[in-house]
Amino acid sequence: PSGVPAGAAAVIDSREVPVLKTLTLEEISDVVGHFAAAAARCKAAGFDFVEIHAGHGYLISAFLTPHFNRRTDHYGGSLENRARFLMEIIHAVRDAVGDSIGVGVKINGEDYLPKDGWTIAEACVLAPMIEAAGADYISVTAGVMGGTRLTVPPMYEKQGCFVDLAEAIKPLVKIPVATIGRMGPRPPLGSAAMSWLVTPSRDAIATVTIVCPSGVQAPVKAISACAKSESTLAALPGRMR
C-alpha cells in the first residue's frame, strides 16, 4: 500500500533497487472493484461461497500491518484506517453476490514479525468489524514473509498450531471462526463445541459439507488455497447465511 514495485519484470536483477509506486486512491478503488468482479464471476460459475484472503502479507494484509503500511492518508495510521481497504472489499463483494452465496474472510491472527507486525490483539478488534461488514465466517491463519514462523507450518510445529489464535477471536463474534495449521485426523479441540470441516488440497476441486448450527448439512463446491496436503478447518457454531 505504501509502495509496490512498478514495471515488474519476469526476471528481477537483485542488484537493482526496485522503483516503488504508492497506490493512488483511484487505484485502490479499482482494486476493490476487481475483488467484487471476481466474486461475481465465482457466483456465476456456480460456487457456493468465496473467501477474501487478507492474510500472509498479501495486499490486504499489507494494508493491515503497520510494518508495511506507511501511508499518511485515511488508509494508514490507526487500525480503523488500516482496515478501511478490507472493509471496502467486503462491502463490495457482498453487494456483488448478494445473500445467495457465502462470503468468508481469511485473516492473520499474528504476523510473527519482530517489530510493528499484526498482532492477535488487533485481530480481536478487527473480527467484529468483519462480522459487521457482512462476512459469514472468519478463517484465522498466521505468518508473513520475514516472520519468525512460517505461513505453511513445517512438521516440527505442533498439531493445530494456530488454534489458540482462533480461540481468542471466537468469543468476540457470532459467526463461525475457522483455523488451519497442521490439522491431523484428531486435531486438538480447545472447545467441546467445535465441529471440524475438511478442506480439499491445493489445485483440487472437491465437494465438502458445511454443517450449519441448525444441524442442516449443505454440500459446498470449493476450490482450496491450502497446502498440498489435507488440512482441516475448525468452525465453531455461529450464524451462517
pLDDT tens digits for range 206-221: 444 444 444 444 444 4
Average pLDDT, the chain: 78
Given 58, 75, 137, 156, the catalytic residue: 58
The pLDDT of 31-35, averaged and rounded, is 97
Q: How high is the pLDDT of residue 176? A: 92
Number of neighbouring beta carbons within 10 Å of residue 229: 10
C-alpha cell at 138: 472468519
Q: List pLDDT tens digits, range 123-157.
A: 999 999 999 999 999 999 999 888 887 777 777 77
Predicted confidence band at 159 (pLDDT cuts at 50, 70, 90)?
confident
Q: What is the value of pTM for the model shown?
A: 0.76
What are the distances in angstroms from CA 196 to CA 70, 99, 212, 221, 235?
A: 38, 24, 11, 17, 6
Q: Does the pLDDT value for residue 203 go beyond 70? A: no
Residues 111, 233: Cα–Cα separation, whole Å: 20
Say whether 58 is catalytic: yes
Torsion, Cα of 215, 103, 68, 114 (10° steps): 10
